[in-house]
Structure formats: structure tokens, C-alpha cells
Structure 1
Amino acid sequence: MTNRKGASFTGEYRNVFLEFGYPEEEIEKKVADTFEQLFFGDENTRIYYPAGEDMGYLLDTGNLDVRTEGQSYGMMMAVQMDNQELFNRIWKWTHTYMWHDSGRYKHYFAWSCRPDGTRLAQGPAPDGEEYFAMALLFASNRWGDGEYPFDYSRQAKQILAACVHKGEGGEEGDPMWDPTNKLIKFVPETPWTDPSYHLPHFYELFSLWGPEEDRQFWKEAAAASRDFLKRACHPVTGLAPEYSEYDGTPNFTRGHGNFYSDSYRVALNVALDYEWFRADPWQVEQSNRIQEFFAHVPMEEYKVYAVDGTVIEEPALHPVGLLATNAAASLASNGPHRKAFVERFWNLPLRKGKRRYYDNCLYFFSLLALSGKYRIIF
């Protein structure tokens, strides 16, 4: 397994469920049914809501707001599932209510709004921008560019240019990537980062399809993020903090230096980068470590942890999301727990109720990844 070239080279995506004996028709049905439930299901399950005749939003059901995280995730889900109408609805809502057309955040997005579009914050969260850009580039490749604001590739390049060049030539504002170390920031104004924001597999594609003058930057950003993740993930437990310094050490601003909700995304990101690009055997070792740490912990007993594994007696807020991403690590791991995590995930239903939004986003991305359906769209 570990010798096969990445899917970016072969065009072949592993279906881990199929490898472990699940029937193909059941896998197809599970993906389709999960997508249907998330976007069009009952009120205790769905996270997507149409708005007017041609817009829609994903609701953070725990905080009752609409976030760039959720909107960009929804767009990625829609393009992966080849649903252009849904994609356009979410993008139009985002562009109408969140997009800045002037000022210090020009070509960025206000990270939090009420469902009626009223902004709760003006500043951006960079994980939204990178997902918007990647989803838009995939949409351009899949469906072709349309009329504004559905000129997908132009919109994506505009976002990426701002992320790299904001503040140059006396322009107001700050870039989202540190120009010296080429690492993504927590927000444009902070000199530190969030390990779960690091998506080197996206940056590789930005270097192919992003603004021509920045293609070398994105190649270097991909390498820088891969090196950073080695510093941020604990060498024994595999746990990463929610916030960290650029050297990988935990940053405890507002108490976010432990392995907590944001951190869960790192396992999925590392595994997907491995599947797409096979860039580094460390990704296999890291995936083994995170599965080893959680192998004998029931989901109901998931806690908050210091990155060295010390238990902090506070229940995990999103245990379904954590189990899902631990299972997604089986895309890269070659250790003894791969099959058990896939089985636990296969038998795990979507979360219902107030806190379902974040868990179920991670659930669906993990489902796509393990079924070979989270793909580079050329």
C-alpha cells in the first residue's frame, strides 16, 4: 500500500470500505443517504437550509450562526457530489452576506453571520478562505465558469491573491499566510496558527491552478505546512493542539492549547494529503500514532487531552467527529487498528440534536475519504 503513488498521479482512489469487505452497493447507498440527510433530512439531522429562491446556508446548530467554515465545507461537499445547484445556492448566500468588497478585509469573508445575513463579526477565519478557493477551483474544473459571481476560477484566484498579497504596496490589511515562513495564520492579525488549518494537499493544487505569479509560493507553502505538522503533532501520541506557535508548541490563547475540537481535523487532513500526494512516510507513522492513542478508548469516554496525552477531565464536545477522523486516518495508517476504526465508523450513525453540525461535517468528509470519493477534480 505505502509504495503506491498518490491519486494525483494515478487517478485511482482507494475505497477502504471495499478493501475491508463492505459491498459496493452498500457503500454507495451510505454516501448518498448521508448526503441526503445532512442537506434535506429531518429537523433534528439536517444542517442545510434554503434561503429564498436561489440561496442557502449551513447552520452551526450549536451556536446558531452561519460560519465561513460551514459554507465552504458545504460547497466542497456539493462539488464532490456533483450538485451544482446546491453549490451555487451556498456560494451566492456567502457572496451576498459575507464577502467584503472594500476595506481592510477586501476579498475576504466575515466569518460569522446570523441566518438572516446580519454579520456577527467582520474579520475572516482563514480555514474558510482556503476551502472556498479549493471548492471554487474544483467547481470551475467540473462545471466550467459562469456569469458573476459564478465565474468560479476568477473568484478563487481573487481570494488566493488577497491571502498572499494583502497589505503590499500600502494596501490596508494583512495577508493570511506569513510571508516569511509561508504558514497559514489563525487570523490575519496573529503571529501564530491553528494546526487544523494546514492543508498542503490544497496548496499543491493552488500551485497548479492559482494565480500564476504565486505558484511557487504555494509549492513552498505545501512543504512548509508538512514540516510544521511534524512539529505540531506529538511524537508519541500524535495529538495536535487547537492553536500553536509556528514552531508547533501549543498556544493557550483563550485556553486553546490542548487537543480539542479543531484538532480533530488534523488526522483527516494528514490522511487525505497522503492519499492524494504520498508526500511523506511520516504521514503513515502519524496516522498509526493517533489510532494507537484512541484504539482502546470508547467514544463515550473521549475527553479533552493535553498533547502529551494527559487527560483533562472534560468530555469531548464532538465525539462523533473525533471517531470519524480517527477512522479517516486508515487511509494512511498501516497499523493494527485500521480495520477496527473503519468498522466503528461504519456502524456509527450521524449525530442528531443541538451539537450535530461540526460532528457531521467531519463525518461526511471522512465518509467521502474512506469510500474513495473525496477527489481532486481536474
Structure 2
Amino acid sequence: MTNQGSFYTGVYRNLFKEYGYTEEEIQARLEDSWNKIFFGDEDTKIYFEPDEKSGYLLDTGNNDVRTEGMSYGMMMAVQLDKKDVFDRIWYWTKKNMYMTEGLHAGYFAWSCQPDGKKNAYGPAPDGEEFFALALFFASHRWGNGEEEPFNYSAQARKLLSDCIHKGENNDGHPMWNPENKLIKFVPEVEYSDPSYHLPHFYELFALWANEEDREFWKEATKASRDYLHISCHPVTGLAPEYAFYDGTPNDERGYGHFFSDSYRVAANIGLDYEWFKADPWQTEEADRIQGFFADKQPEDYRRYQIDGTPFEEKSLHPVGLIATNAMAALASVDGPHARETVELFWNTPVRTGVRRYYDNCLYMFSMLALSGNYRIWMPKK
């Protein structure tokens, strides 16, 4: 094993292959997962094309279109070289979700109806950060288009600039706190969501954002890695959905527990370690999370206090939790539960039914990452 991440080596681990699956099996499973999630039957797919130019991912549990899912779909599409799907999703997003006036001008409305009507006029920062990196990757993989909104890199730089500079002229609120460089849950509040923290994205923003903003992203990278240390429980590894800037759970409205948002922390840690290998703590953290779930059956996954105390409430998204715990294996290397966690994921099919949207987004990311296909797309030389 190299001591450097994929950013430096260009090498991406294929954990499925390391654990004995063949290249043919892996490629077939990756393509099958994409086809089912995007173009499968009505009980499986979450992607829809309403006209010849557009596409959207539907939150099937809430019957709306979210920046979370749209930005995820763009990242999946660029990783798999699906330019038509990428452009359809981005076209729909920019046409229907982008806000050009008001307090949140420059951001995207976090929820819309399938016909494009906005359900709300507030943004969710996890969408913005995924939009930005997916756009940079599209620019590097396919080149920029001449016309908006397909001038991908210019769109990404403008979005990131708005995310950190809004509010300087009393024109709204930034998405990152300018002092501590931590991402907020929404721009108006002063607390965070640990699953929003993507230091591996910020490393790349520090290379490709507007030059005057690059130092900010370097500082945000360190701040986010440090924040995960204090927001994840030291024994269980579990993170709350919302947390204050000191890392303590924010239990206002019941979001200080390990539940749906929190699942993404394991996946983010795995990918950050794979790409940059900058924080050895991430290996210990991945082992803790996988160890906590090692003696639990997916049908009995619950909401938990971050110390591991279970609630009666069952997990809404057990397939998503299986997927993210498996993706953490990219950080655990040869951890005590890495192989069994990955094999559990391999033996789990994509989810069907009403609640499938979030699970299958996380499922697709894990399938990409564990097969060595969640990659950094650098500018062409």
C-alpha cells in the first residue's frame, strides 16, 4: 500500500477486487446499479426525463426534487462519463432551482416540485458543494461549453465565490462561517451538519476556485478535518445529524442523534482518506463505526444517541447505512470489520419502493468508490 492518496498517485483501490470479486463481476454490477437507479422500472428508478433537454432525480419519499439529489446525480454522471444525463440534470437545476433575486440570490432552492415550482426559497449547502465539484470535474473531463450554463468551470467558481462572500455587503448570509471556516447547516444559522464536511472537496477547491479564495479553502480543509474529530463520538464513531461549532450535538428539534444525515460521515471519511490520506485518525474512525454495527442486523438498525444508545425508531434508510459503512472501508485499509462490511454491501440489492431515493444515492456512490471509480478528474494538460 502506498502512503499517498489517489490525488498524488493516480491509483484508486478496487476493494471489491481485493476481496475476490472479478473485474467482469464488478463492472457488470456497477453498470447494473446505474441502469436500475437511473433507468429501471417504476419501483426502482429515481431519475426522470420530462422533455428533450431536462432530467431530474426525485425524492420518492417526499415527492420533490432536491439539490442534494441533483448534485449527487451530476457527480455520478461525470464519474461514469454520462454527459447527456449530466447536462440534463444541470439544465433542469439551473432553470428551476437557481435564485436570481432576494436574500439567497446566487444559491439554489433546496426543494422544488417535479414541474419545477420552488417549494422553498432557502438553500442547503451540501447541494452547493457537490454542484461545484461535479462542475469542475465535468470541465476537466469533457471541456467547457461556450454557452451558459454549460461553461462548467466558470459556473463552479461563481458558485463557490457566492458561498463564501455573500453577506459582506449585507446581501444575505455565507454558507461557511468566515471566522472558523466551517460549513453551516443553512446560511442563516450558526451550527453545522457533520455530514456536510467534505475536506477532500475543499482540497480541490483550493486549486480551482478563484485565486483570491484559495487560501480560504485551504483553511476550510483543515477546519473540517479537525471538526470531524470533535463531532464524532470517541468510542462508537457515530456523529449527530446537527452539531454546534464545538462539536457537541445540537438536539434542537431532535437532530442531535445519529440518523439519516449522519450516515454520510462514514462515506466522506472513506473517500477523503482514499483521495488524500491526510489524516490517520480516519482509519481509527472507520474501524469504530464499522465495529459499532458489526453485531447488528440491518433490519434492526435504529436511530441512536451518538454514544450508541438505541431508540425504538427504526432506520428509514438501512440500505444507505449499509452502503456508507462499506465505503468507510477505504479508510480502514485492513480493519477488523472492513471485509465483512463490504461483503454485506455487495450482497445487498438496490432498494425498491417509496423510500428508495436516499438509499440508492448512497448505494451508487459506494458502488463507484469501492470499485475504484470515484475519481478526481484533473485539468487536461
Cα distance in 1, alignment partners of residues 52 and 327 from structure 2: 36
- For structure 2, the 5+ residue unaligned runs are none
1:28 aligns with 27
Matched residue, 1:75: 74
2:365 corresponds to 1:365: yes
- Residue of structure 2 in register with 1:109 after alignment: 108
Residue by residue over 1:22-64, the C-alpha shift from the partner in whole angstroms, topping out at 9 and shown as x without a partner, is: 0011000100110011111100000000021110100000000
Rounded to whole Å, the distance in 1 between the matches of 2:33 and 2:228 is 31
**In the alignment, which residue of structure 2 is the partner of 1:12?**
11
Deviation sequence 1:209-237 (CA, Å, 0-9, x none): 11110101001000000000000100000
What secondary structure is seen at the aligned counterpart in 1 of 2:358?
helix
> Which residue of structure 2 lines up, in the alignment, with residue 151 of structure 1?
151
Count how many residue pairs are aligned between Structure 1 and Structure 2.
Answer: 376
**What is the correspondence of 1:230-309 to structure 2 with a 5 Å cutoff?**
230-309=229-308
Question: How much identity, in percent, do the aligned residues show?
Answer: 64
The letter of the residue matching 2:267 is: L
* Number of the residue aligned with 1:87: 86
Cα deviation for residue 305 of structure 1 reads: 0.3
**Which aligned pairs between 1:116-265 and structure 2 lie closer than 5 A?**
116-146=115-145, 147-168=147-168, 170-265=169-264
What is the DSSP-based 3-state SS (H/G/I as helix, E as strand, rest coil) of the residue aligned with 1:332?
A: helix
| Aligned-residue CA RMSD (Å) | 0.7
What is the letter of the counterpart of residue 151 of structure 1?
A: N
TM superposition score normalised by structure 2: 0.98
**Matches of 1:233 and 1:281 in 2, distance apart?**
15
1:106, CA displacement in angstroms? 1.4
Aligned to 1:54: 53
After TM superposition, give the deviation of residue 253 of structure 1 in Å. 2.1
Deviations 1:232-264 (A, max 9, x none): 100000000000001111001221100000000
Q: Distance in 2 between matches of 1:212 and 1:198?
A: 22
Tell me the amino acid that sits aligned with residue 316 of structure 2.
L
Amino acid at match of 1:342: V
Work out the CA distance in 2 between the residues paired with 1:363 and 1:85.
22
Counterpart residue type for residue 181 of structure 2: K
Task: Give SS of 2:313's match.
Answer: strand
Q: Which amino acid aligns with 1:317?
A: L
What is the letter of the counterpart of residue 363 of structure 2?
Y
Question: Distance in 1 between the 2:113 and 2:102 partners?
Answer: 21
State the alpha-carbon separation in 1 of the partners of residues 253 and 69 from structure 2: 22
Counterpart CA distance in 2 for 1:101 and 1:142 is 28
* Deviation by residue 1:141-172 (Cα, 9 ceiling, x = unmatched): 0111101110000100111000110011x241
Q: What secondary structure, in the 3-state scheme, does the structure 1 residue paired with 2:55 have?
A: strand
Moved over 3 A (4+): none
**CA distance, structure 2, for counterparts of residue 373 and residue 145 of structure 1:** 22
For 1:318, the aligned partner's letter is: H
Aligned to 2:313: 314
Return the alpha-carbon distance in structure 2 between the equivalents of residues 20 and 53 of structure 1.
42
Give the distance between the partners of 1:4 and 1:167, measured in 2 at CA: 41
What letter matches 2:158 in structure 1? Q
SS of 1:51's partner is coil
Cα offset, 1:102, TM superposition: 2.2
- Match of 1:304, SS state, is strand
- The 2-side partners of 1:20 and 1:172 are apart by 52
Give, in whole Å, the separation in 1 of the partners of 2:87 and 2:219.
32
C-alpha separation between the residues in 1 aligned to 2:54 and 2:320? 27
Q: Which moved more, 1:187-196 or 1:324-333?
A: 324-333
The separation in 1 between residues aligned to 2:288 and 2:20, in whole angstroms, is: 25
